[in-house]
Every structure is written in structure tokens, then in C-alpha cells.
Structure 1
Amino acid sequence: MTDTADGLRGLRVLVADDNPVIRAGLTAVLSAADDLTVVAEAEDGRAAYEAALHHRPDVILLDVRMPGVDGMAALPHLVRVAPVMMLTYSDETDLVQEAVRLGAGGYLVHGEFTTQQLTQAVRDVGDGRPHFTPTATNALLAHIRDHATAHAKPRLRSLSPQISSPNLSRMQPHVGQSTQSRFQLSGREAEIMDLIASGMNNQQIAAVCFISEKTVKNHINRIFAKLQTTTRAQATAKWLGVA
């Protein structure tokens, strides 16, 4: 980080995009913020990696599709240098999921954010807080649902000989209102408990729900108290009705 004129610690940013107009626009927007400085620009993944090694930025903004070495190919190498936020027109679900798997700390789709939201997203990612625009968030939710469903089916098959049909509904990743009422969970707590049961960690839950990790922890503490559990595994077992 660099020191700004008023003594605040500023973030040093690398912008990687093959479109020179977009690079110039992003540089202008970010440079207008007192606590952000664009230290380098790059036109492809290879140039981005070389610039990252030379300038050691605090945050890297990375496009997905670029000639030569594209953003997805460069991402695993860049995340070893600094937090990376994808900033792109590419909104395909598979790309968003793959970017997160490879270590991206955020994913912004052009047209879904304001300049103020962009600068705040850079600050968030630089501070270790994930940031996603709506399309990217929906892609992650789709992945969570698919993952939860895939894990629920084997469990249903293995337990079906031992349980009666009314209990089958309790094996689904998302439980009904009766279970929520039985444990006296609020709507938000039930939502977070669903995400816990799907295997998400606190950081992922915070990103999906657009809340801080501290708030997630507070919710989880209340959930554990209501379910009378002390671990995620115990809570998930009770929530899904397999305790």
C-alpha cells in the first residue's frame, strides 16, 4: 500500500484488459479516488503477470477474454501475487464458477455496477472481502444448489430403506417452514443454515448474502444455540433430519 496525501493507506491497483478504451476508463475512475492508485496497465495475461511481479500491486483487475494468454489462464498465477477481481463482460455461469475455484476474490460484470460500487469493490477485495455483482452471485448460487442436490441424492438412496416417506422431504438441502419453525429460526437464519448445510464457509456465505463475515458469525452463533449444537456438522445433521 501507499500513503495518500491525507495520511490514509492507499491501494495500488493493476488493470488488465485488452481494450485500451476500457483500460483508460478504469484507470480514470480508480485514480479519481483518493485512496486508489493505478500503478500499471496490461493488455493480456502474460503482460499482467510481468507487471504484477514488477509493481507488486495490492489488487489486480482482470478481464476474462484477452488475446494470447487470457484472464482465466493467468488467474492461478496472479492470485499468488495479489488478490484478483475479475472485471469483464463475460457473464457465463461456468466462467464465474471457474474463476472463483481458481482463486478470484470477486467477479464484476460490466453494466451491473456504478463507479462508486467499483471503487468500493476494489477496496473490499483488497481487504479480503469478496465482492460479486448480481449475475456472478446468481452463478455461485446455481453452483451451490447443484452441489447440494448432488450430495443429497446419494444420502436419500442410502437412507430410504430405513425411513418413512414423510421424512424424505427433510433430506432436501432446503428444509421446509415446519423445520424452521421447530427450531425457531428467523428467515435469515434459515437461509444461512441452508448455506451451511450446502458446505459453504463463512466467507462464501458473506459474499452470497451481501453481509460481513462478522455478521455471519453472529448468525451462526444464534443458530447453534437454537439447534443446541456446537459444530457445523451437528447443525447440518439436525437441520436435514439425520441427526
Structure 2
Amino acid sequence: MPPPLRIVVADDNPVVRAGLAALLSGRDDIEVVAEAADGREAYEQAVRHRPDVILLDVRMPGVDGLTALPRLVPLAPVLMLTYSHENETVYEALRRGAGGYLVHGEFSADQLVRAVGDIRAGRAHFSHSAAGALLANVRQFTQRPLHAQSNVGHSSGGQALSPAVLSTELSRREGEIMDLIASGMTNQQIAAACFISQKTVKNHINRIFAKLNARNRGEAIARWYGAAPGGAHRHD
């Protein structure tokens, strides 16, 4: 049998820590090697034990989860495991390197174990409200109000099309995918956030590139932000 996955659990609530430790340590393929009450202690335990995955709460006294993330990510993949599901919090956790985000009350014991395995293997994992919060935050960030789009043109005029105009070229799902591309997410993370396969993500991206007349992600993002020459082709 392969060695068990070694986990550090960081949460300021001792009841939550004990519950998670008991849940995960009851399996032959997972071992909780340390617990931590805040981000600083999580870092110290991660340096000492070199775990395979770190389970990290967001709100903790002293050094909170978001503050600790940039120092923890180089040591081990991090799965946020928290009650916090605000749009900005989810987005910031992903921006700072978290590999996944689970909200308490939205997953079973088996789903938690599967998420730990996914994070260890480099596969992103989100619970439903976390995925929804991420999409909502990215959509709000990338879309600009119409009154700020004075430079909007058409492809024939050599000006960029804004997200508001491009949204009429892309399907709703393609718009969501484009939002996530613009946020810097990988195909793997997009697949997890949208609950679709990576192959489906690739198919969506190919259609997006064709509609935006883009050769790569950089060009697609530039046109989505209205910052590059050229424009989208109409696909009915």
C-alpha cells in the first residue's frame, strides 16, 4: 500500500480541529500529523512535518488564513476549509495560491477525503457556494459599466470590443469560462469550478478563441478587457 497522505489541520476552533482530525485519521490512507490554531502555527508545523496537504481556515486570530497562504503554498498544496464563503474571500484565496475551497456544511466525509486527494494530485476542488462565489466575483471584476466604454468599437474599426459587447458574441457558459481565464485559472481549476471535464473546457476555449479572433489566452484576455486591437467575429 502507498504511504498515507500526511495532513496538517489549521483552524482556531479546537472542536473543529478535533472533529477533522478524528474524521481523517480514521482512514488507513490519511494521517493527520499536526494541528494548528492560526496561520503562524500552521507554517511552523508545515516546516516541521512537510505534509502532503494543508487544511486551512480563513478567519483565525493572529495570522489568518489568507495572510498565511503565500508562505504555506510553497510548502504543500492548501485546501481552504472554512465557514467563510464571501465572493472576495474565495477569489483572494485562489489568487494567493489555494488549490481548492470547501465551505463547511456543503460536503460529506467522503467528499472531503476526495477533495484532499484531488488537491494532493494537483486537481482543484470547490464546494458549490465557493464555485458560485468565484464566478460571481470574476464576472463583477471583468465587466465594466456601459458609460465607461467610450472606446468601444467594432472589428472593422480596429478597436477593442468591451466585455459587454463581447458577451453578445459568447454563450453564457463561454462568458463564464472567459471570466475564469481572465482571472488566471488553469484549465484544471476551471473544470473544477464549473463542474465539467477538462476536455469540455478545452472545447469551450477553442470556440472562445475563434469568436474573439484570439490566438492565445493573452490575446483573449486583452480583448475581453477591451485593451487590444481587433475584435470578435459573430458566431450565430
Which interval holds the TM-score relative to the shorter structure? 0.7 to 0.9
List per-residue Cα deviations over 1:16-53 (Å, max 9, x = no partner).
11222111110111123332111111122221111100
The Cα shift of 1:63 comes to 1.1
2:231 aligns with one of 205, 218, 242: 242
1:172 matched to which residue of 2? 164
User: What is the rounded CA distance, in whole Å, between the counterparts of 1:47 and 1:41 in structure 2?
Assistant: 8
Counterpart position of 1:220: 205
Deviates more, 1:37-46 or 1:214-223: 214-223
Relative contact order (alpha carbons < 8 A, sep ≥ 6): 1 or 2 greater?
2
SS at match of 1:124: helix
Using the TM superposition, give the Cα deviation of residue 227 of structure 1 relative to its aligned residue in structure 2, in angstroms.
8.2
Output the amino acid matched with 2:150.
R
Equivalent residue number for residue 137 of structure 1: 131
Task: Tell me, yes or no, if the aligned pair for 1:33 and 1:119 is still in contact at 8 Å.
Answer: no
1:157 maps to 150
Deviations 1:162-185 (A, max 9, x none): 989xxxx98526634xx46xxxx8
Letter in 1 for 2:125: H
Cα distance in 1 for partners of 2:139, 2:87 equals: 13
Distance in structure 2 (CA, Å) of the matches to 1:80 and 1:198: 21
Structure-1 residue corresponding to 2:14: 20
**Aligned residue number for residue 194 of structure 2:** 209
- Aligned with 1:114 (options 94, 102, 108): 108
Task: Give the Cα–Cα distance (whole angstroms) in 2 for the partners of residues 95 and 198 of structure 1.
Answer: 14
**Equivalent residue, structure 1, for 2:67:** 73
1:8, 1:194 → 2: CA distance? 39
Following superposition, the deviation at residue 75 of structure 1 comes to 1.5
Which is worse superposed, 30-39 or 227-236?
227-236
Distance (whole Å) between structure 1 residues aligned to residue 193 and residue 69 of structure 2: 22
Please report the RMSD computed on the Cα atoms of aligned residues, expressed in angstroms.
Answer: 3.6
Residue pair 1:49, 1:77 contacting (<8 A) in 2 also: yes
Equivalent residues of 2:24, 2:32 under 8 A apart: yes
Scaled by the length of structure 2, the TM-score of the pair is 0.77
Task: Note the alpha carbon deviations across 1:180-235, whole angstroms, 9 max, x for none.
Answer: 6xxxx8x7567545654776542342232123434423543466679886434666
2:31 paired with 1:37:
yes
Matched to 1:122, the amino acid is: V
- CA contact under 8 A between 1:49 and 1:74: conserved in structure 2? yes
The letter of the residue matching 2:26 is A
Q: Deviations over 1:58-89 (max 9, x none)?
A: 10001112222222222211112111111111
| Of 65, 78, 85, the match for 1:84 | 78
Q: Does structure 1 conserve the Cα–Cα contact (< 8 Å) formed by 2:25 and 2:32?
A: yes
Question: Which residue is 1:127 aligned to?
Answer: 121
Match of 1:3 in 2: none
> What is the SS of the residue equivalent to 2:129?
helix
Partner residue of 1:61 out of 51, 55, 79: 55
> C-alpha distance in 2, partners of 1:83/1:66?
19
CA distance in structure 1 between the partners assigned to 2:36 and 2:182 by the alignment: 41
- Measured after TM superposition, the shift of residue 138 of structure 1 is 1.7
Q: Tell me the distance in 2 between the aligned counterparts of 1:74 and 1:105.
A: 14
Letter in 1 for 2:202: K
One-letter amino acid of the counterpart of residue 96, structure 1: V
One-letter amino acid matched to 1:172: A
The aligned length equals 225
Structure 1 gap segments, 5+ residues each: 1-6
